[in-house]
Amino acid sequence: MPEGPELHLASLYVNKMCNGVVFTGLVKKSEVSKSPDVPFTCEAYRITAISRGKEVKLTLTPVKSDDVTWDSKAGLADQPMDIVFRFGMSGYFRVTSEEELPKHSHLRFYTKETPCRVLSFVDTRRFGSWEPSGTWQPGRGPCIMTEYKSFRENVTSHLSDRAFDRPICEVLLNQKYFSGIGNYLRAEILFRLSIPPFVPARTVLEGLESEDFWENEKPVKNELTDAKASKRAKQKKLKGETGDLLRLCHTVPLEVVSLGGKGYDPVKEDYSGFKAWLQCYYVDGMKSIRDHNGRTMWFKGDPGPMVPKSIQSASTKKKKVVKQQTGTKTPKKGKDVHVKKKASKRIKIDVNTPQHENKSSARRRKGSSAQPVDAGDILVFCQSETNAFVWSRNERIFNFNCPLCSSSETEWKIN
């Protein structure tokens, strides 16, 4: 999903490609798009772009000149219009000729030149959207890149909010406070600071000042950089970055902007530069866990105490199974041993030892494969009666896995 750096790079791309270019006519929408029509028609207009967090605003400005006759009755626009875009999962802008329109071009702006060119909003998965005469979404906080000072103040002044009770990895995706941060950025930021993803956000952020005294706010680049400048920016060590998460929320996205191109875009051919920049996200040797919202979190080391309970229970269960397998004898191969490799099929385990049958008689049934039974222990046979195990359990109903014949997890009763 495009994040703050990708949308900022998209705005730089539009400004570069549309600089000095005059557009004309209708703004056309594709037939399959469910986003609204753009009621803007003009004989001559220009397009500029600006980004804020995970939004991009295009401004269509009519060009007034002596050779253009304005006729409000004809429906020609004489006032600027803002269109706010949200990229969803796959949105981006592309300038092409009319003959080379991208397949998933859903909103198109046509130039007045000959041959005509087209600025298209391309969205393969159609999760993106646009809002004619729109404004920045009110629920989003100051941008991490272009409004750094306001961003810091907004976070440090609201640490008492209940939102900061959650793990830091989930709070970083809250656009009310971290406008522009997404999945790969949160992984890279926490990795650089060696912060476990599932620790309380307030604990991490308490003590940070509302003003960054080390960092005199650096202006965000308003033009695309060349390859050499990008390489120098990548190699430059950020002074004093250790410990200040809010500062890295500003500087790490700027590193992506310095790389140029479109940022995170696995589909494009020159994705290798961005991939080489990544230190944690989808990097070999790193771990991943789904957070409470179902988003994949990449990290290294201990995840922290607030890891989702489903992950904790699965981990505990896995350890128990490993322990059971370690203490179980491996049966000899023979004609009576049949191992079925149907892991998905549920197999019922019947414990056929009646109440009047004592433990010594049970031991005689399969004494060859059973372990010694002490007082209080229970001898259990799986369905095939090939394997026997000794269990010391107080519960009357619990789950049992036969580690030797791959029986599925099945409820059984102790009599």
Lowest-pLDDT choice from 69-73, 96-100, 158-162: 69-73
pLDDT band of 13, cuts 50, 70, 90? very high
Per-residue confidence (pLDDT) for residue 163, from 0 to 100: 96
Lowest-pLDDT choice from 56-70, 175-189, 281-295: 56-70
pLDDT at 328 over 50: yes
Q: Give the strand pairing for 41-52 and 23-26.
A: antiparallel
pLDDT band of 71, cuts 50, 70, 90? low
Cβ atoms of 108 and 119 closer than 8 Å: yes
pLDDT digits (tens, 9 = 90+) for 14-45: 999 999 999 999 999 999 999 999 999 999 99
Show the 3-state SS of the chain. CCCHHHHHHHHHHHHHHCCCCCEEEECEECCCCCCCCCCCEEEEEEEEEEEECCEEEEEEEECCCCCCCCCHHHCCCCCCEEEEEECCCCEEEEEEEHHHCCCCEEEEEEECCCCCEEEEEEECCCCCEEEECCCCCCCCCCECCCCHHHHHHHHHCCCCCHHHHCEHHHHCCCCCCCECCCHHHHHHHHHHHCCCCCCEHHHHHCCCCCCCCCCCCCCCCCCCCCHHHHHHHHHCCCCCCCCCHHHHHHHHHHHHHHHCCCCCCCCCCCCHHHHHHCCCCCCCCCEEEECCCCCEEEECCCCCCCCCHHHHHHHHHHHHHHHHHHCCCCCCCCCCCCCCCCCCCCCCCCCCCCCCCCHHHHHHHCCCCCCCCCCCCEEEECCCCCCEEEECCCCCEEEECCCCCCCCCEEEECC
Domains of the chain: 4-132 (3.20.190.10), 148-299 (1.10.8.50), 334-413 (no CATH)
Per-residue confidence (pLDDT) for residue 380, from 0 to 100: 52
> Is 268 designated active site?
no
pLDDT band of 319, cuts 50, 70, 90? low
pLDDT higher at 348 or 253? 253
pLDDT higher at 207 or 341? 207
pLDDT higher at 249 or 271? 249
Per-residue confidence (pLDDT) for residue 211, from 0 to 100: 80
Per-residue confidence (pLDDT) for residue 229, from 0 to 100: 52
pLDDT higher at 243 or 54? 54
> Is 55 designated active site?
no
Q: Which of 3, 55, 170, 188 is catalytic?
A: 3
Cβ atoms of 156 and 209 closer than 8 Å: yes
pLDDT digits (tens, 9 = 90+) for 184-243: 999 999 999 999 999 999 999 998 988 876 655 555 666 655 545 544 444 444 334 447
Per-residue confidence (pLDDT) for residue 264, from 0 to 100: 57
Q: What tokens were used for 17?
A: 């490609």
> Is 54 designated active site?
yes
Report the C-alpha gap between 189 and 4 in whole angstroms.
14
CA angle, 173 then 176 then 181, to 5°: 35
Q: What is the mean pLDDT of the chain?
A: 77
Cβ atoms of 242 and 208 closer than 8 Å: no
Mean pLDDT across the stretch 83-88?
A: 95
Per-residue confidence (pLDDT) for residue 78, from 0 to 100: 85
pLDDT at 55 over 70: yes
pTM for this prediction: 0.69
Q: What tokens were used for 103?
A: 């397949």
Q: Which of 5, 6, 29, 54 is catalytic?
A: 54
Q: Which of 2, 5, 142, 253 is catalytic?
A: 2
**Burial class of residue 414 in the structure, from the number of CB atoms within 10 Å of its CB (0-12 exposed, 13-18 middle, 19+ buried):** middle
pLDDT higher at 9 or 367? 9
